[in-house]
């Protein structure tokens, strides 16, 4: 079984938009992969005029929020950096136990990469924009700029969602069969770790030792 | 063979059932997000605690139909109505048109909406006038406009030249499970897609805001529809869901939609919905006793504002009571922002909706309307100071000077002692010429009546000019009756009109007994004559300033000239009478004067009296002196 990979369009978001954007994207993906009996839950974003869908599972919502919190913490420590969140779906396969591996392994059949570019607040007239709280003369231009930027982010987010829909529609064959009593496929959310290099190492580590149950989830 | 045949039939039947249920499910997903009813949107919010598969106890709440494609949705009546359409064995395509309908532009009071003219105006000014398809309704009385903003296609394309029932059982079973899985995925993406399209925002706002809208979303399901106009289709975008192969064809799902439509619901700042408030504070409906019975009370349009509305222009009212008719175009504020070609916008019908006029212009229009609808003053012709409807003059707030609105002083009256102390009369020199104001008692400290401002104000003139002609119309008849025209501009209060014109209790130093008439021919004392003049002035209709000014300024020299008699003191009184007699007629002419002017005249009369007395004495003395001189002269010659 091959692993389908979908690189989503990069979104340029501000710090306060991260939570909503990630919730929207991650829940949309998971909803498409929650093929068990669900009662969908519509959620309206507060920052954007977009309604996304959750599959209604409380545990799932909790886990996603935890991951988002970790990501936000990482972003705060690494400002102005492009980041990537990986949502992977896998199957648990049993295999021959050995010294370095467990009995089960994870076979990833789908990976979604959410690319974010977290930006700072818009620069003010003052050079010390990071610490300046007073705006010299925001006027209407700043408001217009803000609303324009917000509209752009919303449009980009909408594009990403349509990208997800198209991907789900175009590629169906790789999706495993539905197990009885299971709402959604096992998944894994990978966020950048404390250092950039460690993030890449984590990915390699995961590839080499795929099936390690508790490394990154 | 028979078992294979049976199995194939079974498989075919299952396939048919799956396809049928797919039709129904897709229809349900579309309709429940486009029909104005309680959709799964609200329904699913309740189920966060109990997921259908999280506990066995919740499984009982899942209907059999919910289990199809593992998507539990609330039932949609319109989908159920079209279930037969989905159950067609030949799988005719199902087309769902999501139509945006403008409600008819009805100017009747019952359905008045401030947004009606906005919609109408925009429709007339719409650049893309083809957006709306407008037709007369069946009765021909209303113009109905609608627009297809989405068109969904659900169809099963049969594969020709191939036996659908071929294949062994195992492959069929695999096919069925695979098909089922793919249909689940398709329906998941359909569920997400319907919420990302622009029409969903309209649906959401219509369902959640509760505001009165001039448009509505109406999904129409049919098997066959007329193709859209080419220019319409050009403007629309199409989204294809990847078809899913079935054993004898493929299931296709697609949508045509407008992507570049603006947000009709961007009206976070105007939540008020237009409504007519019949029982506002001070309205006749709120206080039935104050209602003028002969005047209609209607609702809705400003043209039907009750003419019997009184007292609504006092300052306190404006502070306390809400506007009678809210002209806030809030419900269609966003719908009036018909912008086009903004792909980043939320996507709502554009263009044909009127722009939201600024508040100032609306306010101006409102006041203009109020001016037009200002009722003619209704003078009570009651012969006695019994409670009777006072003058219902509606004066738009903008036409009232601030001083007028904020005045809380007691109304002026003719009685000297009180008037002298009245703060309202200090320095009153430039009063409006013809005031149909209440001539009422002093001592009412309540802010029930409007004080005439000191400074002349053109707007105030306009206010009073509303009733001026009618003042003349009615007051001339009543000049010398025992009653005075009840012209009241005060707001409603609990006190009766009897309090206003009860002059009998008011002491007047010059007053004479009731019933005494001023007979020009009768011989009276100077005091009685002046008193009669004062009494006449009290009961006289409103004075005209020009005449009164002439009277006040010219009459003194006249009287003075007449006050040099060649006769004795008795003749002096006669001259006073002669002076007074021709002035009686002029009193009628000056009836429109204000009470302040009357006060001035009263003072003038006092002066006259004193003058007369003094002149009388001097005249006598001078007569005597002249007679003595004459006699001495004649003696001398």
Q: Which residues pair with A87 in a beta bridge?
A: A112, A189
- How confident is the model at residue B163, as a pLDDT? 53
Residue pair B593/B484 in contact (Cβ under 8 Å)? The answer is: no
> Measured between beta carbons, which residues in chain A are less than 8 angstroms from residue B348?
none
At B100 the pLDDT is 87
pLDDT value of position B394: 42
Q: How far is A156 from chain B (nearest CA, A)?
A: 9
Q: What is the pLDDT of residue A112?
A: 96
Lowest average pLDDT, out of A139-148, B11-20, B491-500, goes to B491-500
Element (H, E) at B403: helix B402-406
Long-range contacts for B472-476 (Cβ within 8 Å, ≥24 apart)? B472/B592, B474/B379, B474/B381, B475/B379, B475/B541, B475/B542, B475/B591, B475/B592, B476/B541, B476/B588, B476/B591
DSSP B599: H
Mean pLDDT of B181-206: 92
The more confident residue out of B381 and B586 is B586
Examine the pLDDT at B113 and tell me if it is beyond 50: no
pLDDT tops 60 at residue B385: no
Q: Is the pTM of this model over 0.80?
A: no
| 3-state class (DSSP) for residue B240 | strand
Rounded to a whole number, what is the distance in Å from the CA of B119 to chain A's nearest CA?
A: 25
* Residue B259 confidence (pLDDT): 82
Each residue of B399-423: b (16+ CB within 10 Å) or e? bbeeebbebbbbbbbbbbebbeebe
Instruction: Please write the tens of the pLDDT for every residue from B18-71.
Output: 999 999 899 999 998 998 765 555 554 444 434 444 434 444 467 777 789 999
Q: Measure CA B137 to chain center.
A: 28
Q: Residue range B435-444: average pLDDT?
A: 43
pLDDT at B219 over 70: yes
Under the banding of pLDDT at 50, 70 and 90, the label for residue A31 is very high
Q: How far is it, in rounded angstroms, from Cα B349 to Cα B145?
A: 12
Say what the pLDDT of residue A211 is: 52
Other C-beta atoms closer than 10 Å to the C-beta of A152 total 13
Least confident piece of the model among A93-102, B64-73, B465-474, B520-529: B465-474
The model's pLDDT over B347-360, given as tens digits with 9 standing for 90+, comes to: 444 443 334 444 44
Q: How confident is the model at residue B151 (pLDDT cuts 50, 70, 90)?
A: very high
B225/B624 Cα distance (integer angstroms): 118
Q: Do A169 and B242 touch (CB under 8 A)?
A: yes
Class of domain B1-36+66-104+144-158+174-262: alpha beta
Asked whether the predicted pLDDT for residue B509 surpasses 70, the reply is: no
Can you list the alpha helix ranges (DSSP code H) found in B166-299?
169-196, 198-209, 230-235
Selecting from A35, A40, A170 the residue whose C-beta is nearest the C-beta of B242 gives: A170
Of B53, B195, B345, which is closest to A53 when you measure between CB atoms? B195
Residue B113: other Cβ atoms inside 10 A: 23
The C-alpha atoms of residue B98 and residue B217 are separated, in whole angstroms, by 7
Residues 6+ apart with CB under 8 A from A105: A92, A93, A94, A95, A210, A211
pLDDT in tens, A157-182: 999 999 999 999 999 999 998 888 88
Q: Please tell me the predicted confidence (pLDDT) of residue B470.
A: 45
In this predicted structure, the answer to whether residue A26 has a pLDDT above a threshold of 50 is yes
Structure confidence at residue B454 (pLDDT) = 46
Cβ-count burial B526-540 (b if 16+ within 10 Å, e if not)? bebbbbbbbbbbbbb
Mean pLDDT across chain B: 61
Residue indicated by tokens 């080499």:
A208
Strands (E), B287-336: none
B195 vs A contacts (CB less than 8 Å): 42, 51-53
Kindly calculate the radius of gyration of chain A based on its CA atoms and give it in whole angstroms: 19
Q: Residue A51 is nearest to which of B48, B54, B195, comparing CB atoms?
A: B195
Closest CA to B278 of B290, B287, B269, B289: B287
| Domains in chain A: boundaries | 4-210
Region of B282 (left: φ > 0; alpha: ψ -120 to 50; beta: rest) is left
Is residue B313 scored above 90 in pLDDT? no
pLDDT digits (tens, 9 = 90+) for B563-606: 444 445 545 444 545 555 555 555 555 555 688 889 999 999 99
Closest by CA to B25, choosing from B72, B88, B84, B57, is B72
Nearest to B495 by CA among B290, B286, B288: B290
Query: What residues contact residue B194 under an 8 Å CB cut-off, 6+ apart?
Result: B29, B30, B33, B34, B200
pLDDT at B457: 46
Provide the pLDDT for residue B525: 74
The answer to whether the CB atoms of A162 and B196 lie below 8 A apart is: yes
% of chain A residues with pLDDT over 90: 55
Least confident of A123-127, A190-194, B49-53: B49-53
Residue A144 has pLDDT above 70, yes or no: yes
Answer whether B41 sits within 8 Å of A42, measured CB to CB.
yes
Round to whole Å and give the CA distance between B330 and B274: 8
| Residue that has been written with the tokens 């105006």 in this structure | B121
- Give the C-alpha separation, B148 to B169, whole Å: 45
Candidates A40, A150, A181: best to mutate against B (most CBs of B within 10 A) is A40
pLDDT over 60 (residue B295): no
Query: Between these two residues, A167 and B101, which has the higher pLDDT value?
Result: A167
Q: Is residue B205's pLDDT more than 50?
A: yes
Separation in Å, CA of B263 to nearest CA in chain A: 10
Closest partner residue to B44 (CB to CB) among A39, A168, A183 is A39
- Looking at the predicted structure, is the pLDDT value of residue B301 above 60? no
| Least confident piece of the model among A54-58, B118-122, B301-305 | B118-122
Please indicate whether residue B274 or residue A35 has the higher confidence score (pLDDT).
A35
**Residues of B contacting chain A (CB within 8 angstroms):** 40-41, 43-45, 47-49, 51-54, 62, 66-67, 70-73, 177, 181-182, 184-186, 188-189, 191-193, 195-196, 200-201, 204, 241-242, 244, 263, 343-346
- For the cut 60, the answer to whether the pLDDT of residue A214 exceeds it is no
Rounded mean pLDDT, B452-471: 45
Closest CA to B605 of B542, B545, B531, B539: B531
Token pair 């809210």 is found at B326
Highest-confidence range of A5-9, B41-45, B475-479, by mean pLDDT? A5-9
A71 or B319, which is more confident: A71
Phi and psi angles of residue A92, each rounded to the nearest 5 degrees, phi first = -95, 120
Across chain A, mean pLDDT equals 82
Give the mean model confidence (pLDDT) for residues B137-141. Answer: 63
- Asked if pLDDT for residue A71 goes beyond 50, the answer is yes
> Which range among A10-19, B156-165, B179-188, B228-237 shows the weakest confidence by mean pLDDT?
B156-165
Query: Does residue B388 surpass a pLDDT of 90?
Result: no
If residue B57 lies in a helix (H) or strand (E), which one and from where to where?
helix B56-59
Q: Is pLDDT above 50 for B14?
A: yes
Which among B72, B188, B344 has the least Cβ separation from residue A39? Answer: B72
pLDDT at B102 over 50: yes
Q: pLDDT higher for A51 or B169?
A: A51
Contacts 24+ apart (CB under 8 A), B616-623: B616/B563, B616/B565, B616/B569, B616/B572, B619/B563, B619/B564, B619/B565, B619/B566, B619/B572, B620/B568, B620/B569, B620/B572, B623/B565, B623/B566, B623/B567, B623/B568
Classify domain A4-210 by CATH architecture: 2-Layer Sandwich (3.30)
Identify from B34, B40, B47, B189 which residue to disrupt to test chain A contact, counting A C-beta atoms within 10 A and taking the largest count: B189
pLDDT at B332: 42
Alpha carbon of B531 to those of B188, B347, B510: distances in Å?
97, 81, 4
pLDDT of residue B339: 38
Name B220's Cβ contacts closer than 8 Å, sequence gap at least 6.
Answer: B96, B97, B99
Contact between B52 and A50 using a beta-carbon 8 Å cutoff: no
Which letter does DSSP use for residue B110 in this model? Answer: G
Site from A33, A39, A165 to mutate, B interface, most B CB atoms within 10 angstroms: A39
pLDDT band at residue B636, thresholds of 50, 70 and 90? low
pLDDT bucket at B183, cuts 50 / 70 / 90:
very high
pLDDT confidence of residue B162:
53
Please give the average per-residue pLDDT across B443-450, as a whole number. Answer: 43
Rounded percentage of chain B residues whose pLDDT exceeds 90: 10
Beta strands in B35-182 (DSSP E): 94-102, 133-136, 143-158
């Amino acid at each position: 079984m091959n692993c389908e990979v979908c690189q989503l369009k990069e979104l340029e978001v501000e710090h306060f938009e991260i939570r909503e954007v990630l919730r929207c994207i991650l829940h949309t993906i998971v909803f498409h992969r929650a093929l068990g009996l669900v009662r969908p839950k519509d959620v309206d974003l507060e920052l954007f005029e977009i309604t996304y869908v959750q599959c209604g599972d409380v545990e799932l919502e909790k886990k996603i929020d935890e991951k988002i919190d970790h990501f936000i913490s990482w972003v705060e420590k690494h400002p102005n950096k492009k980041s990537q969140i990986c949502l992977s779906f896998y199957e648990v396969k049993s295999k021959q136990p050995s010294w370095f591996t467990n009995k089960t392994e994870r076979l990833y059949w789908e990976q979604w990469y959410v690319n974010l570019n977290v930006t700072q607040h818009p620069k003010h007239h003052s050079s010390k924009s990071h610490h300046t709280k007073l705006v010299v003369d925001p006027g209407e231009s700043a408001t217009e700029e803000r609303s324009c930027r917000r509209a752009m982010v919303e449009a980009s987010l909408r594009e990403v969602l349509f990208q997800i829909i198209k991907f789900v529609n175009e590629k169906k064959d790789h999706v495993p069969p539905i197990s009885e009593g299971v709402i959604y496929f096992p998944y894994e959310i990978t966020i950048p770790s404390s250092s950039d290099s460690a993030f890449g190492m984590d990915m390699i580590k995961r590839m080499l030792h795929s099936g390690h149950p508790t490394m990154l989830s | 063979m028979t078992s294979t045949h049976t199995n194939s039939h079974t498989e075919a039947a299952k396939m048919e059932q799956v396809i049928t249920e797919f039709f129904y499910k897709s229809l349900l997903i579309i309709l429940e997000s486009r029909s104005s009813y309680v959709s799964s949107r609200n329904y699913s919010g309740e189920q966060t605690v109990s997921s259908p598969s999280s506990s066995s106890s919740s499984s009982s709440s899942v209907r059999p139909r919910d289990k199809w494609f593992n998507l539990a949705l609330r039932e949609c009546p319109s989908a159920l109505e079209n279930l037969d359409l989905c159950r067609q064995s030949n799988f005719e395509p199902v087309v769902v048109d999501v139509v945006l309908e403008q409600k008819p532009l009805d100017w009747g009071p019952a359905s008045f909406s401030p947004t009606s003219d906005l919609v109408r105006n925009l429709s007339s000014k719409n650049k893309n006038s083809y957006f709306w398809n407008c037709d007369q309704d069946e009765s021909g009385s209303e113009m109905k406009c609608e627009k297809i903003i989405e068109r969904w296609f659900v169809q099963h394309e049969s594969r020709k030249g191939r036996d659908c029932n071929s294949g062994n059982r195992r492959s069929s079973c695999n096919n069925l499970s695979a098909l089922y899985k793919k249909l689940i995925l398709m329906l998941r993406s359909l569920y997400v897609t319907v919420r990302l399209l622009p029409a969903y925002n309209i649906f959401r706002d219509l369902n959640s805001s509760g505001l009165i809208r001039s448009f509505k979303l109406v999904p129409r399901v049919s098997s066959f529809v007329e193709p859209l106009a080419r220019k319409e289709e050009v403007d629309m975008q199409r989204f294809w869901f990847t078809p899913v192969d079935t054993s004898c064809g493929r299931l296709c799902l697609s949508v045509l939609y407008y992507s570049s439509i603006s947000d009709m619901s961007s009206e976070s700042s105007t939540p008020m919905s237009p409504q007519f408030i019949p029982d506002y504070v001070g309205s006749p409906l709120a206080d039935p006793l104050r209602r003028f019975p002969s005047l209609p009370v209607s609702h809705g349009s400003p043209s039907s504002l009750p003419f019997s509305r009184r007292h609504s222009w006092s300052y306190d009212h404006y502070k306390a009571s809400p506007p009678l008719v809210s002209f806030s175009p809030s419900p269609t504020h966003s719908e009036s922002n018909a912008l086009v070609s903004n792909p980043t916008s939320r996507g709502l019908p554009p263009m044909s909706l009127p722009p939201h006029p600024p508040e100032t212009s609306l306010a101006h229009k409102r006041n203009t309307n109020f001016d037009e609808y200002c009722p003619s003053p209704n003078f009570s012709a009651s012969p006695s100071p019994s409670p009777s409807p006072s003058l219902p003059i509606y004066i738009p707030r903008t036409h009232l000077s601030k001083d007028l609105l904020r005045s809380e002083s007691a109304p002026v009256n003719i009685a000297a002692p009180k008037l002298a102390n009245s703060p309202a009369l200090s320095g009153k020199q430039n009063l409006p010429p013809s005031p149909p104001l209440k001539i009422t008692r002093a001592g009412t400290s309540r802010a029930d009546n409007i004080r005439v401002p000191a400074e002349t104000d053109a707007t105030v003139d306009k206010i009073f000019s509303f009733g001026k002609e009618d003042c003349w119309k009615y007051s001339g008849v009543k000049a010398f009756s025992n009653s005075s025209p009840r012209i009241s501009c005060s707001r409603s209060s609990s006190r009766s009109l009897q309090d206003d014109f009860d002059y009998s209790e008011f002491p007047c130093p010059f007053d004479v007994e009731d019933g005494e008439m001023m007979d020009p021919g009768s011989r009276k004392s100077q005091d009685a004559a002046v008193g009669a003049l004062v009494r006449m002035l009290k009961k006289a209709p409103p004075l005209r300033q020009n005449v009164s000014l002439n009277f006040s300024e010219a009459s003194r020299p006249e009287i003075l000239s007449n006050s040099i008699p060649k006769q004795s003191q008795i003749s002096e009184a006669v001259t006073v009478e002669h002076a007074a007699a021709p002035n009686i007629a002029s009193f009628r002419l000056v009836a429109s004067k204000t009470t302040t002017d009357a006060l001035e005249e009263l003072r003038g009369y006092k002066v006259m009296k004193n003058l007369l007395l003094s002149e009388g004495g001097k005249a006598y003395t001078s007569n005597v002196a002249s007679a003595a001189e004459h006699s001495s002269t004649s003696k001398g010659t």
